[in-house]
Structure 1
Amino acid sequence: MVVSEVPKLASAAEYFFKVGAEGKKFRPTVLLLMASALSMPTPNSIAVEVASSFQKNMRTRQQRVAEITEMIHVASLLHDDVLDGADTRRGIGSLNFVMGNKLAVLAGDFLLSRACVALASLKNTEVVSLLATAVGHLVTGETMQMTTNAEQCHSMEYYLSKSYYKTASLISNSCKAIALLAGQTTEVALHAYSYGRNLGLAFQLIDDVLDFVGTTASLGKGSLSDIRHGIITAPILFAKEEFPELQAVIDKGFDSPANVEAALDYLGKSQGIERTRALAIEHANQAIAAINALPESDSEDVLIFRRALVDLSHLVITRSK
């Protein structure tokens, strides 16, 4: 779907879809598993040929949502790297580092435009609204991160809201879109949304842990990147609850390596990492509960894919990269 009359633009837009730089494809994997987990039996009254055509068309539309979601996600990464001045992403040079900020921004815009065209082709206003909302949330979350004041900086509630907008909204609204395209009820669609929301939050919480305990090689980005950019995440917030004096260090900012070391010292003495993992597990369990709340199914195939979604919840909280 990434086609342009300008080769340079097409090359830039495809940069993170190429072999070796395509990432984990976490979101498309979740969505395609959800599509199979919500598969509905075809009524016997419908002819086999008609049923087969219907199922194929529905699957194509759901796959298109997975593709659109990944395009939106990658576009947000391109824009984020420009805003952060990042020089690496996924273990290679970031697009803005390799081709410059202007082309990186334009490539992100181009991906969003192609995603919009693909979204319109689905001809489902509710699905369009869900994905458009998620794009708005990405912008909201990034703005929240850039404009955080002193009070918000120390608020766990603010941090979780920002994390939802930046990470969980896209996957949760996409899961709901998958359910709607499958012809599921509003109740089932809300369970799909809840799975995506809680899985996304768990993913972000573990990401925040790995920023402190991971390595540059495993993360594909500079270790301690968040705190060096002055971004306060759950491990530091939990550490501050145990050591209120950490707030004075945070207030000074992290331009100084000494302040970074001081914050890490407090974090090491605290239960910040452990409590963040515990919160991630709590959200993963809520994601699993959403899958278990789905209507019973006699299809072994459907049950296999539901178990895969449960397994994925476990993988999210045990991953090391």
Structure 2
Amino acid sequence: MTSVLSPFGPVEADLERLRQNLTRLVSAKHPILAMAAEHLFSVGGKGIRPAIVLLIARATTPDGEITPQHWRLAEITEMIHTASLMHDDVIDASTVRRGVSTVNTLFDNRVAVLAGDYLFGQAAWYLANLDNLEVVKLLSKVIMDLPEGEVRQSLTRFDPDVSLEEYLAKSFYKTASLISGSAKAAGLLSGVSPEVADRLFDFGCNLGIAFQIVDDLLDFTGSAETLGKPVGSDLIQGNLTAPVLFALEEFPQMRELILRELAEPQDLQQVLEWVYQSEGIPRSRQLARDYAQRAAEALQVLPDSEARQALLQMVDYVLERPC
């Protein structure tokens, strides 16, 4: 893989234009729902998902052109992602995201759910108007996968018997499905061959799983200030991620504490100590690297270009991102 440089350089101005377009699109309807959506756009992250769409567009069109359909796909992708965040915050009763108040805190749960539904509805409308049946099928499957991931996570809360395979499947539904579906869709809008489209899906799938593993690692290795939430938040909610699953192999006595849902005052601190003493964190890092390597290999199908180089740098960015 490459050295860690900014993968956003070739589309930095494009992403700013996209944020402005999104604000304009959501502001055209109900003011309260628009305010809720705009709040999350304004505190959004780097824009990894739309950046991937725009970079693939530049890497797969003859003149590196971002077509109107690619623009709309990038907007749809960010709408779907933002809607899912709104719903996640309600489900998790989160009060802070990226260091600022969540929509459900600023307004209430009902507004947050309706604002998420509003964005999903807008995304579906704009998706249908792309007039590309294969892309519609891809992104419709993504919208189905997101709640599937949440249901799987809810059904395995505080379950020490959840397998690594189940964890990875949940990670696909929650995170990798959107990245892989939008990556393949971007290629299809460029008219790439089925073989190249499938490799773009593989890129997004592997990158998305690596992203989720790193995100789960940061729950143990990041600071509360950096994360904008308490360290161990996933564990507190009963979400057993890769570091915990690996640590359970070395410290089976964790089972009892997890099964009683960390009910005793010292349970959380004890489980955290076992995770830190185990090989759970290094093994999770290696697992993320393995998936990232597969993502980088999938990009070999693309011709050399500045955009492809940026996509390779995105792989490293996902592995090294601070939060």
1:40 aligns with 2:42: no
* Partner AA of 1:30 in structure 2: I
Q: Distance in 1 between matches of 2:50 and 2:189?
A: 15
1:1-321 correspondence runs (5 A): 1-18=25-42, 21-40=43-62, 59-148=67-156, 153-292=161-300, 294-295=301-302, 297=303, 303-321=305-323
Given that residues 98 and 227 in structure 2 are in contact (C-alpha distance below 8 angstroms), is that contact kept between their aligned partners in structure 1? yes
The two structures have a TM-score, normalised by structure 1, of: 0.89
Give the superposition deviation at 1:243: 1.9
Give the percent of matched residue pairs that are identical in Structure 1 and Structure 2. Answer: 43
Give the superposition deviation at 1:4: 4.3
- Number of aligned residue pairs: 299
Q: Secondary structure at the match of 2:266?
A: helix
Give the superposition deviation at 1:117: 1.3
Given that residues 239 and 267 in structure 1 are in contact (C-alpha distance below 8 angstroms), is that contact kept between their aligned partners in structure 2? yes
Q: Distance in 1 between matches of 2:38 and 2:161?
A: 35
Q: Distance in 1 between matches of 2:177 and 2:160?
A: 20
* Partner AA of 1:181 in structure 2: L
Give the superposition deviation at 1:86: 0.7
* Partner AA of 1:9 in structure 2: L
Q: Distance in 2 between matches of 1:227 and 1:140?
A: 20
Q: Deviations over 1:160-179 (max 9, x none)?
A: 00000000000101101001
Which one scores higher on RCO, CA 8 angstroms, separation ≥ 6? 2
The more displaced of 141-150 and 96-105 is 141-150
Give the superposition deviation at 1:254: 2.3
Q: Give unmatched runs, 5+ long, in structure 1.
A: 42-54
Give the superposition deviation at 1:150: 6.8
The two structures have a TM-score, normalised by structure 2, of: 0.88
Larger Rg: 1
Aligned residues: CA RMSD: 1.7
Q: Distance in 1 between matches of 2:218 and 2:29?
A: 40
Assess, with a 3 A threshold, how the Cα gap between structure 1 residues 118 and 166 changes in structure 2: closer, same or farther: same
Q: Deviations over 1:40-81 (max 9, x none)?
A: 36xxxxxxxxxxxxx86x621112111101100110110111
Assess, with a 3 A threshold, how the Cα gap between structure 1 residues 308 and 144 changes in structure 2: closer, same or farther: same
Q: Deviations over 1:210-243 (max 9, x none)?
A: 0011012212223211001111000000111122
Given that residues 252 and 259 in structure 1 are in contact (C-alpha distance below 8 angstroms), is that contact kept between their aligned partners in structure 2? no
* Partner AA of 2:37 in structure 1: A
Q: Distance in 1 between matches of 2:89 and 2:245?
A: 24
Given that residues 228 and 255 in structure 1 are in contact (C-alpha distance below 8 angstroms), is that contact kept between their aligned partners in structure 2? no
Q: Distance in 1 between matches of 2:131 and 2:145?
A: 22
State the 4+ residue runs in structure 1 displaced beyond 3 angstroms.
Answer: 149-153
Q: Secondary structure at the match of 1:14?
A: helix
Q: Distance in 2 between matches of 1:256 and 1:40?
A: 61
* Partner AA of 2:60 in structure 1: L
Q: Give unmatched runs, 5+ long, in structure 2.
A: 1-24
Assess, with a 3 A threshold, how the Cα gap between structure 1 residues 150 and 217 changes in structure 2: closer, same or farther: closer
Give the superposition deviation at 1:153: 4.6
Given that residues 152 and 158 in structure 1 are in contact (C-alpha distance below 8 angstroms), is that contact kept between their aligned partners in structure 2? no
Q: Distance in 2 between matches of 1:37 and 1:255?
A: 52
Given that residues 157 and 240 in structure 2 are in contact (C-alpha distance below 8 angstroms), is that contact kept between their aligned partners in structure 1? no
